[in-house]
Amino acid sequence: MHRSPVERSQGNTSPNGRKVLENLRKLVNAFGPFGGFSQHSGQAKKNAKMVSSPSVYDAEPIPAAARAEIDALLASGDLFRYTAASGSPVAELESEFAEFMGVPFALAVNSCSAALFLSLKAIGIEPGDRVLIPAFTFAAVPSAVVHAGGEPILVDVAENYRIDLNDFEAKLSQNIKAVVISHMRGHTSDMDAIMALCDARKIPVIEDAAHSLGTIWSGRKIGTIGRIGCFSFQSFKLMNAGEGGMLITRDPDIIARAIIMSGAYEHNWKKHPVAHDRCIFWQNKLPLYNMRMNNLSAAVLRSQIHEVPRRASDGRANHDYVAGILNASPWLNVPAPLDLELRAPDSIQFNLRGFDSDEEAEAFQRSANEKGVMVQVFGLSEDNARAFWNWKFIGHQSDLKQTRAMLMRACDVRLPARLRKNDLDFIANALVEAAEDVKKTDQKGCGSPIRTLVRSA
């Protein structure tokens, strides 16, 4: 009797296993244009009439607690953070977020990219300064370095999506002025080792925690370990304002510089209840980049802060459940978290095993898409903003064979915290069966047996 991947991973048939399997047999679903998949959208639209797959791009509703404040702002039209003498929604958000993170200072801005840029300017990056960043990150990170006048230097990343510490240490001695650690897709590199190496050389560390709000490293919140932490409030993140960002720090001089450069012109820095002595010092000495957050975005965000622990826990449970099913397949592997890492994922990444050609990896991508689960193989999705060879604006880099090989077989699937078990089963079954489809075809084509994986109890 055929058993679904969920059933095989769990040993015994789950109560809803037969129903899930029947749905999978019926399923041929679809997605519109995304990444390199637009060529399949015609068949997708036709198949969409049959069975719908879980929607992984819908956000959670904004909490009802936000609506009264939003309605009041719409009625007053008071959307600029500096209209009120004090206590604007943006100022309240900054205070509440700083308290939640356990730091004295927070600055709300219009994106995480803005937070990264201001962080680099606040620590004194000057034209030509070399800034070390991971080779696996989003294009906004090297863009922020370039915007700040710096030169991005890429460090190799291992198969588990984390920084190669040998390459990191070697490049750290190459006249590096600052380090940006991207916790890409919520995967935390060894922050103890990174901080020890950087502290010994007095090199400031900025944490790009766009994907890591709610993540804990050795009992400490990600974003509070380096000199500065930067967060994203874009729609797919744990807190959602459509767009938005936050910069946090314990350094009064850094927050004063960032406040002024964010657009606190004239004496508007006085409406921030922090670091006034340093703001006085920097008055009229810094350029204004006008990267402020508006009151409406802040009102949308404030009621979501208390949701972070629940969303982090739900996201981790969802991720680990699907990871268990994928790891039971000989063709798929989800790297384990580091021992000191408690993640808060909203997506899942896994590596294709035994897919020796790009054609096989692309066939897996197509098969999963046809089954109703959108997968991107980072290195095979056309113009992917996470593939470093597409960052043609940063200039020549050293050979990054390890990162390149990883990206050519590393897969990415959205897995938001709001999904339920039947959604997770649907996604996991589709991914495992897509891999099996490709390898069975390969077996027929070459006459070699499909490899099996023996796992200990």
- Secondary structure (DSSP) of 339-365: TTEE---SEEEEEESS--SHHHHHHHH
Q: Which run of H or E residues covers position 311?
A: helix 308-326
Write phi, then psi, for 132 (nearest 5 degrees). -85, 125
Q: Residue 298 in contact with residue 93, Cβ under 8 Å? A: yes
> Which pair of tokens denotes residue 141?
């990170």
C-alpha span between 169 and 164 (Å, rounded): 9
What Rg do the C-alpha atoms of the chain give, in angstroms? Answer: 23
DSSP designation for 238? S
DSSP designation for 78? -
Domain 5-52+308-446 has CATH 3.90.1150.10: yes
C-alpha span between 179 and 120 (Å, rounded): 10
C-alpha span between 237 and 141 (Å, rounded): 16
Longest dimension (CA), the chain: 76
C-alpha span between 403 and 157 (Å, rounded): 5
Domain boundaries, the chain: 5-52+308-446, 64-307
State the pairing for strand pair 228-232/205-208. Answer: parallel
Assign 406 to helix, strand or coil. Answer: helix
- Tell me the CATH number of domain 64-307, given options 2.40.50.100, 3.30.465.10, 3.40.640.10, 3.30.70.660: 3.40.640.10
Which neighbouring-strand residues pair with 230?
208, 247
Q: Residue 129 in contact with residue 178, Cβ under 8 Å? A: yes
C-alpha span between 326 and 345 (Å, rounded): 16
pTM for the structure as a whole: 0.87
User: Crossing angle, helix 67-76 and helix 295-302, to 10 degrees?
Assistant: 170
C-alpha span between 166 and 242 (Å, rounded): 38
- Per-residue pLDDT 10s for the chain (457 aa) are 556 666 656 654 444 444 433 443 343 333 333 333 333 444 444 443 344 789 999 989 999 999 999 999 999 999 999 999 999 999 999 999 999 999 999 999 999 999 999 999 999 999 999 999 999 999 999 999 999 999 999 999 999 999 999 999 999 988 999 999 999 999 999 999 999 999 999 999 999 999 999 999 999 999 999 999 999 999 999 999 999 999 999 999 999 999 999 999 999 999 999 999 999 999 999 999 999 999 999 999 999 999 999 999 999 999 999 999 999 999 999 999 999 999 999 999 999 999 999 999 999 999 999 999 999 999 999 999 999 999 999 988 888 999 999 999 999 999 999 999 999 999 999 999 999 999 987 666 554 433 333 332 2
**Amino acid, res. 48:** A
Residue 344 Cα distances to 213, 249, 252, 254, angstroms: 7, 21, 29, 28
Question: Taking the C-alpha atoms of 387, 389, 390 and 391 in order, what is their torsion angle to the nearest 10 degrees?
Answer: 100
What are the start-end ranges of the H helices in 39-159? 41-47, 67-76, 89-101, 112-122, 140-147
> Which pair of tokens denotes residue 261?
């450069």
Among residues 39, 336, 13, 373, the alpha carbon closest in space to that of 162 is found at 336
